[in-house]
């Protein structure tokens, strides 16, 4: 097979004979990367410093990057400058508007029977309490289902406390189950007439670091204060309630919706040799929650995918265009993903792949591609195996948050899955800071993404059409 794309690699010593052969065979069908070249690029990426530099720079020089905030705007400027400096083409911002929600302050104390403070924070789109605060009796529920089944007369005017247990899983799969408690609980409580809702943090840690996150008000649900208790505080409230006396909690929260603000996606490209070969889209999201500096969520994601794309760019022009997208306003409701779909839905996308699950080592890959294209994954499997990465047992589960909207058009997706064992210790908390990023595991990520791009940006096989997802 030819080695067309490697022939343009300025870093490689290539014989004239090889160059001639390459020129003669430069059809897209013969563009596949040689396994040994992919392996060399992959292994070189194990010494990568670009991903660390981006993660360190973005979290240090910008810090928290709440969707629609001034900080997110500064982050876009930072991203444009950095992507240009790295040598990417067509670096630009694609702006869009978002509803702007401010966290404000939140405090709580048990008034009776055991006066003491509780640590909590507002969930996305939470309403404020009255300025003087809100004091109400607490009614506890141990599941969303038990709340849904509650007698409205028992809930009316009370502060609902909704608890649960989040399990530690390597693949993070329990987030789907307990995330629902956060996403739906506030609307359910509001419709039952609750004055406010306190939800145990969706997290696996034992710190006074409440996990924020998005929730939205379903039709007919009046916004109420919706707050996440830190896990030790939820433990405490459970113990206090179990003693059987009426429990009163005073809350103050100043969260509010504050009009429309500008957000945007930052885009950079490595133009491919064949403009008609379709785009390989990789990226993560630029915005973060405002409690931490968004290191694992998701500075690392944009850093890993950008570092890998740069390695492919520096190795020579790929067959297909690689488009790196640093999505805006993911956390508050996937606004960047929706804006991207709207603007780019008519372009040909070959493949989508997103990094938004931290930066611990990648241990498996998943696909959402045509069954007929599964044999074409063999070179990818071979390139990833030396990094300890195995294929998931079935096709159809790959996705990503920002790419989920455009994925609905039927575009193939490959997902490189990081080890999530400690991800939900930190996710959406003030503790999402640079020290949580392990440089060695970050480099393993870059190596895996470099292998992914080396194979897929040069593979002439079409991975579609994608059948509807199995679940």
Q: Is 330 a catalytic residue?
A: yes
| Number of Cβ within a 10 Å radius of residue 370 | 18
CB of 297 to a copy of itself, least distance (A): 15
Among 436, 451, 458, 463, binds a copy of itself (CB under 8 A): 436
Q: Distance between CA 23 and CA 347 in Å, rounded?
A: 28
Nearer to a copy of itself, 190 or 293 (CB): 293
Contact in structure between 137 and 174 (CB atoms under 8 Å): no
CB of 346 to a copy of itself, least distance (A): 39
Render 262-274 in DSSP notation, one character per residue.
Answer: EEEEEEEEE--S-
Q: Is residue 410 a contact residue for a copy of itself (CB under 8 A)?
A: no
Nearer to a copy of itself, 29 or 114 (CB): 114
Q: Which two tokens stand for residue 113?
A: 């029977």
CB of 116 to a copy of itself, least distance (A): 3
Nearer to a copy of itself, 161 or 365 (CB): 161
Q: Distance between CA 387 and CA 450 in Å, rounded?
A: 12
Please give the DSSP secondary-structure letter assigned to residue 401: T
Nearer to a copy of itself, 132 or 243 (CB): 243
List the interface residues with a copy of itself, window 91-110 (CB under 8 A): 110
Binding residues with a copy of itself: total (CB under 8 A): 34
CB of 117 to a copy of itself, least distance (A): 7
List the interface residues with a copy of itself, window 36-65 (CB under 8 A): 56, 60-64
Residue 266 bridge partners (DSSP): 93, 326
Q: Which two tokens stand for residue 457?
A: 């940006």
Nearer to a copy of itself, 251 or 434 (CB): 434
Q: Distance between CA 74 and CA 461 in Å, rounded?
A: 40
List the interface residues with a copy of itself, window 65-84 (CB under 8 A): 71
**3-class DSSP state of 236:** helix
Among 87, 95, 115, 275, binds a copy of itself (CB under 8 A): 115
Render 289-304 in DSSP notation, one character per residue.
Answer: -SSS--IIIIIHHHHH
Nearer to a copy of itself, 107 or 404 (CB): 107
Q: Is residue 117 a contact residue for a copy of itself (CB under 8 A)?
A: yes
Q: Is residue 240 a contact residue for a copy of itself (CB under 8 A)?
A: yes
Query: Which x/- pattern over 4-43 shows residues binding a copy of itself (rule: CB under 8 A)?
Result: ----------------------------------------
Nearer to a copy of itself, 73 or 413 (CB): 73
Q: Distance between CA 146 and CA 126 in Å, rounded?
A: 22
**3-class DSSP state of 359:** coil
* From 72, 330, 405, 415, the catalytic residue: 330
Q: Which two tokens stand for residue 160?
A: 């609902």
Q: Distance between CA 302 and CA 55 in Å, rounded?
A: 8
Q: Which two tokens stand for residue 368?
A: 């959402």
Nearer to a copy of itself, 412 or 430 (CB): 430
Query: Closest Cα partner for 86 from 112, 37, 48?
Result: 48
Residue 351 bridge partners (DSSP): 280
Give 3-state DSSP helix, strand, coil % of the chain, rounded to 5. 35, 20, 40
279, containing H or E segment: strand 279-285
CB of 257 to a copy of itself, least distance (A): 21
CB of 339 to a copy of itself, least distance (A): 26
Q: Distance between CA 349 and CA 410 in Å, rounded?
A: 10
Among 90, 116, 177, 218, binds a copy of itself (CB under 8 A): 116
Q: Is residue 293 a contact residue for a copy of itself (CB under 8 A)?
A: yes
Q: Is residue 119 a contact residue for a copy of itself (CB under 8 A)?
A: yes
Q: Is residue 431 a contact residue for a copy of itself (CB under 8 A)?
A: yes
Q: Interface with a copy of itself by CB under 8 A: which range of 211-219, 321-329, 416-424, 432-440?
A: 432-440
CB of 57 to a copy of itself, least distance (A): 10
Q: Distance between CA 132 and CA 152 in Å, rounded?
A: 26
Q: Is residue 165 a contact residue for a copy of itself (CB under 8 A)?
A: no
Contact in structure between 296 and 427 (CB atoms under 8 Å): yes
Q: Is residue 235 a contact residue for a copy of itself (CB under 8 A)?
A: yes
Tell me the CA distances in angstroms from 75 to 56, 97, 263, 323, 379, one per residue in order.
Answer: 13, 16, 10, 19, 37
Q: Distance between CA 132 and CA 98 in Å, rounded?
A: 30
Query: Which x/- pattern over 177-216 shows residues binding a copy of itself (rule: CB under 8 A)?
Result: -----------------------------xxxx-------
**3-class DSSP state of 6:** helix
Q: Interface with a copy of itself by CB under 8 A: which range of 114-122, 248-256, 321-329, 440-448?
A: 114-122
Nearer to a copy of itself, 56 or 137 (CB): 56
Q: Is residue 232 a contact residue for a copy of itself (CB under 8 A)?
A: yes
Backbone angles phi, psi at 91, to 5 degrees: -75, 130
Q: What residues act catalytically?
A: 330
- Where do contacts with a copy of itself occur on this chain (CB under 8 A)? 56, 60-64, 71, 110, 113-117, 119, 206-209, 231-232, 235-236, 239-240, 243, 292-293, 429-431, 433-436
């Amino acid at each position: 097979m030819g080695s067309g794309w490697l022939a343009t690699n300025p870093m490689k010593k290539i014989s004239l004979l090889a160059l001639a052969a390459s020129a003669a065979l430069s059809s897209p069908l013969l563009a596949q990367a040689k396994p040994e070249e992919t392996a060399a690029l992959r292994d070189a990426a194990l010494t990568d410093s670009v991903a660390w530099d981006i993660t360190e720079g973005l979290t240090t020089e910008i810090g928290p990057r709440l969707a629609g905030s001034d900080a997110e705007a500064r982050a876009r400027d930072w991203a444009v400058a950095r992507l240009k400096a790295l040598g990417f083409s067509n670096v630009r911002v694609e702006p869009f508007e978002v509803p702007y929600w401010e966290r404000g302050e939140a405090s709580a104390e048990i008034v009776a029977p055991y006066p003491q403070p509780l640590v909590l924070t507002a969930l996305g789109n939470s309403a404020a309490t009255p300025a003087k605060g809100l004091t109400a009796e607490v009614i506890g529920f141990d599941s969303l289902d038990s709340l849904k089944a509650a007698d409205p007369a028992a809930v009316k005017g009370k502060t609902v406390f909704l608890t649960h247990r989040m399990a530690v899983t390597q693949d993070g799969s329990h987030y789907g189950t307990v995330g629902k408690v956060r996403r739906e609980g506030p609307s359910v409580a509001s419709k039952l007439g609750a004055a406010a809702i306190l939800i145990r943090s969706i997290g696996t840690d034992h710190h006074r670091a409440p996990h924020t996150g998005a929730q939205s008000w379903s039709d007919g649900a009046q916004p109420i204060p919706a707050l996440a208790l830190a896990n030790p505080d939820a433990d405490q409230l459970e113990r206090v309630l179990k003693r059987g006396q009426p429990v009163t909690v005073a809350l103050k929260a100043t969260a509010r919706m504050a009009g429309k603000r500008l957000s945007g996606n930052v885009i950079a490209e490595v133009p491919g040799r064949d403009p008609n070969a379709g785009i390989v889209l990789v990226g993560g999201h630029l915005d973060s929650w405002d409690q931490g500096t968004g290191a694992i969520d998701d500075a690392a994601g944009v850093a890993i995918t950008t570092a890998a794309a740069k390695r492919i760019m520096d190795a020579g022009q790929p067959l297909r265009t690689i488009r790196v997208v640093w999505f805006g306003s993911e956390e508050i409701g996937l606004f960047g993903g929706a804006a991207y779909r709207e603007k780019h839905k008519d372009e040909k996308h070959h493949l989508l792949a997103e990094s938004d699950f931290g930066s611990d080592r990648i241990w498996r890959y998943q696909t959402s591609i045509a069954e007929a294209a599964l044999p074409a994954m063999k070179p990818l499997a071979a390139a990833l195996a030396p990094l300890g990465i195995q294929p998931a047992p079935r096709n159809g589960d790959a996705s990503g948050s920002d790419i989920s909207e455009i994925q609905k058009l039927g575009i193939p997706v490959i997902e490189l899955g990081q080890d999530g064992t400690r991800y939900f210790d930190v996710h959406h908390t003030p503790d999402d800071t640079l020290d949580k990023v392990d440089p060695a595991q970050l480099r393993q990520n870059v190596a895996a993404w470099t292998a992914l791009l080396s194979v897929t940006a040069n593979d002439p096989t079409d991975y579609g059409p994608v059948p509807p997802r199995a679940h």
